[in-house]
Amino acid sequence: MPEIRVTPLGAGQDVGRSCILVSIAGKNVMLDCGMHMGFNDDRRFPDFSYITRNGRLTDFLDCVIISHFHLDHCGALPYFSEMVGYDGPIYMTHPTQAICPILLEDYRKIAVDKKGEANFFTSQMIKDCMKKVVAVHLHQTVQVDDELEIKAYYAGHVLGAAMFQIKVGSESVVYTGDYNMTPDRHLGAAWIDKCRPNLLITESTYATTIRDSKRCRERDFLKKVHEAVERGGKVLIPVFALGRAQELCILLETFWERMNLKAPIYFSTGLTEKANHYYKLFITWTNQKIRKTFVQRNMFEFKHIKAFDRAFADNPGPMVIMPGYCVQGTVGHKILSGQRKLEMEGRQVLEVKMQVEYMSFSAHADAKGIMQLVGQAEPESVLLVHGEAKKMEFLKQKIEQEFRVNCYMPANGETVTLPTSPSIPVGISLGLLKREMAQGLLPDVKKPRLLHGTLIMKDSNFRLVSSEQALKELGLAEHQLRFTCRVHLHDPRKEQETAVRVYSHLKSVLKDHCVQHLPDGSVTVESILIQAAAHSEDPGTKVLLVSWTYQDEELGSYLTSLLKKGLPQASS
């Protein structure tokens, strides 16, 4: 039975360390290869031993697909390819390929430099890993091999984020990665065509949330920043340098321009600076407005925002706005959870006097958006990843009710198996078709009809041919198969006389058929043979043996039922 199997090694009922194994028509694909920011040991990477036990990784996996550059989706990639030993192709979009190494380098810096971890992947490993990448364009069908093909769709979320359709023959799976169904200030909304995959694997971060209007959130954000600046204060926004930083930059830039504000805005040098360079480069991946106006003015050439120089360093405060998530084990997490006293190095205790605000600017689809995407793609079933179990449970029910499809939410390590009914192309021989045509009926799409033939499976091909041709091709002799049925007749006369009676009866009923009475006493109707015999125990009963070939099945059954009704009373 053909099937699709999905096993999350990460992102199964959790957020972080996305890594999903999909097996489709014998092809094995790994979707994302992320790391968990919350751990500092081996647990940060997915447990690949569950794949390596199947033999060599490069033999087992046909390809790895990375949906976008966030580390929880690509952070384990150099480890997987250069240290665990995967040597096959890795697919991602062009912007992801450009930005991925920057983030990986940054992460390496944190791990090796700040935390002093040994045995971590090196810069050379990151480069060697990136050399294995095959970059893809949106909507371009890429043949991984003769059978496996993939296609990327726009996902919003961050620059270069993509959803991927994976197709083998007529079976397909769509993996969304992280996506956003509403356009923001610099990116468009995710979109996919009605591709009707067998399975849609979707993220479900905001499975139960219907997000308030973005406008309110933005207004709130700008108001708070403005108030702080008006009071003569400073605002610190520690933000992921890639993705959200650009969104907030555009937001602030536009506001500053409108309000004619003069207070300087700085972004940290380093990562954001590099990222801005790529946002300028991949302008086609941004939203329509930015694309349209970029000839006059590239939105990423900021007027009010400049690179931060260390000379400006002063005590930060009085406000810090955290526009995203912080894992446990960071100062950000402490401040966000409201801790007002922070113990720093050397037993130095700092008091948090500033105002702390949390405003989520992460670009994920909310419950409405997820439902919208399911409606767009029209999958046969849905599988939820990248979310919390409780919230997934709610969304699962909603999807099952609304779309009448099965929805799954496996935990990490759990395998979901979906039976599929693949459509297999079968070639029909010309001879067979001609014979059907000869019967006078022209083919009609609306009226399917039965066609008898012999199915030959050879060299991974299926062909339907006439049985004669099959015998000839395969060099086989035909077996004659006869069916025999016993019909009991109440007739005290001798067997020969019963046979005569049967003959006359059939002759009179079957006027169009050739009915014969043979010298040995048996009766034939076409190829059907009827013999009368005495009953071993009851002399008043005769047994009629009706025998026919499978080709005359119809006539044979008819005769049997006819004879079972008995013979007409003799007129003489």
Partner 1 sequence: MDPECSQLLPALCAVLADPRQPVADDTCLEKLLDWFKTITKAGSSLLLLQENPCLVELLCHVLKPQDLSSRVLSFSLRLAGVFAAQEDCFQYLQQGELLPRLFGEPGPLGGAAWTAPSVRSGWIQGLRSLAQHPSALHFLADCGAVDTIFSLQGDSSLFVASAAGQLLVHILGLSMQGLAEGHPSLQAGDWPVCAQKIVGHIEESLHSTAVPQITQALNVLTTTFGHCHDPWTQVLWVRLSPLVGSLLEKDPVPAAHSLVDLLLSVARSPGLSSSSCGLWETLAQTLNHLSPTQAGPLALGILKLQDCPQVLRAQAFVILLQPLACVLKATGQDPGPSGVLDSATGDSLTVDVLLSSKAACVGLLCRTLAHLELLQPLPQRPCPWPQEPLLGAAVTLLQLCRGSASPASDVGRHLCALLLGCVRVQRAALDFLGTLSQGTGPQELVTEVFAVLLEYLRSPDSSPTVLKKAFQATFRWLLSSPKTPGCCDLEPHALLVLRELLPVLQKRLCSPCWEVRDSGLEFLTQMTRHWGGQAGFRHALLASEVPKLTEQLLRDPESYVRASAVTVMGQLSSQGLHVTPVSPEHPGGQQSLLVELLHILSTDSEGFPRRAVMQVFTQWLRDHHADVAGDTEQFMARVLQVASQDLDWEVRAQGLELALVFLEQTLGQFHSHCPYAVTPPVAAPAGSLAQALQPLCRVRLFEFAFRALFDCDRPVAQKSCDLLLFLRAKTASSSGSLEESRSGPDVASVEAALQRWQAGDQGQPLGDLEPEVVLAVLRSVDLEGLRGALAEGSDHMEKSPQSLLQDMLATVGVLGENEADCY
- Kindly list the catalytic residues: 203
CA separation for the pair 148, 172 (Å, rounded)? 10
Q: Which residues contact 100 (CB under 8 A, 6 or more apart)?
A: 66, 69, 74, 77, 92, 130, 133
Least gap, CB of 291 to partner 1 (angstroms): 22
Interaction of residue 362 with partner 1, rule CB under 8 A: yes
Q: Side chain identity at 393, as an amino acid letter? A: E
Least gap, CB of 40 to partner 1 (angstroms): 7
Stretch that binds partner 1, among 14-22, 255-263, 298-306, 466-474 (CB under 8 A): 14-22
25 dihedral zone (left: phi>0; alpha: psi -120 to 50; beta): left
> What spatial distance separates the first Cα and last Cα of the chain, rounded to whole Å?
65
CA separation for the pair 243, 226 (Å, rounded)? 23
Among 264, 329, 422, 492, binds partner 1 (CB under 8 A): 329
Q: Which is nearer to partner 1, 123 or 469 (CB)?
A: 123
Among 220, 257, 343, 553, binds partner 1 (CB under 8 A): 343
Positions in 288-317 near partner 1 (CB under 8 A):
310-311, 313
Positions in 122-141 near partner 1 (CB under 8 A):
123, 127, 130-132
What character string, x for contact with partner 1 (CB under 8 A) and - otherwise, covers 464-503? ----------------------------------------
Positions in 177-196 near partner 1 (CB under 8 A):
178
Q: Which is nearer to partner 1, 360 or 454 (CB)?
A: 360
Sign of CA dihedral 549, 550, 554, 558: positive
What character string, x for contact with partner 1 (CB under 8 A) and - otherwise, covers 139-178? ------xxx------------------------------x
DSSP string, 385-413: ESS-HHHHHHHHHHHHHHH--EEE-PPTT
DSSP string, 123-158: HHHHHHHHTTEEEE-BT-EEESSSSEEEEEEE--SS
Nearest-CA neighbor of 120 among 67, 62, 75?
A: 75
Q: Which is nearer to partner 1, 75 or 556 (CB)?
A: 75
What character string, x for contact with partner 1 (CB under 8 A) and - otherwise, covers 532-551? --------------------
Write out the two tokens for 465.
């041919």
Stretch that binds partner 1, among 8-16, 224-232, 435-443, 505-513 (CB under 8 A): 8-16
Q: Assess contact for 186 and 177: CB atoms under 8 A.
A: no
Interaction of residue 336 with partner 1, rule CB under 8 A: yes
Interaction of residue 214 with partner 1, rule CB under 8 A: no
Positions in 59-98 near partner 1 (CB under 8 A):
59, 70-72, 87-89
Q: Which is nearer to partner 1, 158 or 506 (CB)?
A: 158
CA separation for the pair 324, 332 (Å, rounded)? 10
3-state secondary structure 318-370: EEEEECCCCCCCCHHHHHHCCCCEEECHHHCEEECCCEEEECCCCCCCEHHHH
Interaction of residue 440 with partner 1, rule CB under 8 A: no
Among 42, 118, 119, 338, binds partner 1 (CB under 8 A): 338
Q: Which is nearer to partner 1, 43 or 231 (CB)?
A: 43
CA separation for the pair 523, 520 (Å, rounded)? 9
CA angle (503 as vertex; 500, 506 as ends), nearest 5: 150
Q: Which is nearer to partner 1, 130 or 225 (CB)?
A: 130
Nearest-CA neighbor of 30 among 16, 9, 47, 12?
A: 9
Interaction of residue 346 with partner 1, rule CB under 8 A: yes
Q: Which is nearer to partner 1, 153 or 240 (CB)?
A: 240
Least gap, CB of 510 to partner 1 (angstroms): 52
Query: Between helices 495-509 and 553-564, what is the axis angle to 10°?
Result: 120
What character string, x for contact with partner 1 (CB under 8 A) and - otherwise, covers 231-260? ---------x--x-----------------
Q: Which is nearer to partner 1, 313 or 430 (CB)?
A: 313
3-state secondary structure 513-553: CCEEECCCCCEEECCEEEEEEECCCCCCEEEEEEEEEHHHH
Q: Which is nearer to partner 1, 415 or 561 (CB)?
A: 415
Interaction of residue 461 with partner 1, rule CB under 8 A: no
Strand order in the sheet with 318-322: 234-236, 318-322, 355-358
Positions in 37-56 near partner 1 (CB under 8 A):
38-40, 43, 47, 50, 54-56
Least gap, CB of 429 to partner 1 (angstroms): 23
CA separation for the pair 418, 416 (Å, rounded)? 7
# residues contacting partner 1 (CB under 8 A): 81
Using DSSP bridges, classify how beta strands 90-93 and 133-136 pair: parallel, antiparallel or unpaired.
parallel
Interaction of residue 350 with partner 1, rule CB under 8 A: no
Positions in 378-437 near partner 1 (CB under 8 A):
386, 388-389, 411-415
Stretch that binds partner 1, among 270-278, 401-409, 495-503, 520-528 (CB under 8 A): 270-278
